[in-house]
Amino acid sequence: MKCKICNNATSIISKGDDNKIYESCPVCQAIILRKDFIINDTEERAQYENHNNSFESKGYVEMFEKFLDYFWQNLNKNAKNALDFGSGPGPVLAQIMKNRALHVDIYDKFYQPKKIYLDKKYDLITSTEVFEHLQNPLETLMFFKKHLKEHGLIAIMTLFHDNNEENFWKWWYRRDPTHILFYTPKTFEVMADMCGLKIIKCDSRRIVVLTSS
């Protein structure tokens, strides 16, 4: 098989107690769930309905505050608008950014499907806990680039795997049935280069920040 990100040959890994099969790329380090095991949109949305993420969850709000704090000083001081891509049923991050004096548009394929971003460009595009659900992350990154202002930032949050196969099988993050693609910082380096973007910050755990190259 060919890696859907970098088109290099992948190897099959299958060992977990759930019998899932993944493709592992030795070049970009992506680990990709085989298409046969990807759930449909109805099942995916049903999983999201079980989430209880709101302003009532102090830890959830703190996570987003820390996410923004990580790159906020890198944001253009004259930044005016942002797009939160994959906002979920309760757009907590969008409200936090509004509290920081940004105008925020939100898009989510299930909960906010109106394409409000058409004919717009943004100083900041955020995407938190989204990329692990995507079948075509390169397409999404190119979409972000298209809608990014000059010197704008793309800030992404997704938990990185540690490139250790034994640990991967034990990893709680892969057990979510909606999670189909897993990354390392190297994966994002490869994708950034392919999309004409560059990484300006990465915490090597879950956050990567990009801009146009």
26: in domain = yes
Quote the domain boundaries for residue 191: 11-212
1: in domain = no
2: in domain = no
Instruction: Give me the amino acid identity at 54.
Output: S
Which stretches does DSSP call E strand in the chain? 11-13, 22-24, 31-33, 81-85, 103-107, 122-128, 148-157, 181-182, 197-202, 207-212
The CA–CA distances, whole Å, from 185 to 29, 70, 108, 142 equal 9, 16, 25, 18
Residue 58: pLDDT band with limits 50, 70, 90: confident
The tokens 């755990």 sit on which residue?
205
Whether the per-residue pLDDT at 175 is higher than 90: the answer is yes
201: in domain = yes
120-153 pLDDT, tens digit each: 999 999 999 999 999 999 999 999 999 999 999 9
pLDDT of residue 54: 62
> Residue 55's domain is classified under what CATH number?
3.40.50.150
5: in domain = no
Dist CA 170 CA 167 (whole Å): 5
Dist CA 206 CA 132 (whole Å): 11
77: in domain = yes
Residue 90: pLDDT band with limits 50, 70, 90: confident
197-207 pLDDT, tens digit each: 999 999 999 99
131: in domain = yes
Residue 86: pLDDT band with limits 50, 70, 90: very high
Exposure of 47 by Cβ count < 10 A (0-12 exposed, 13-18 middle, 19+ buried)?
A: middle
3: in domain = no
Count of domains for the chain: 1
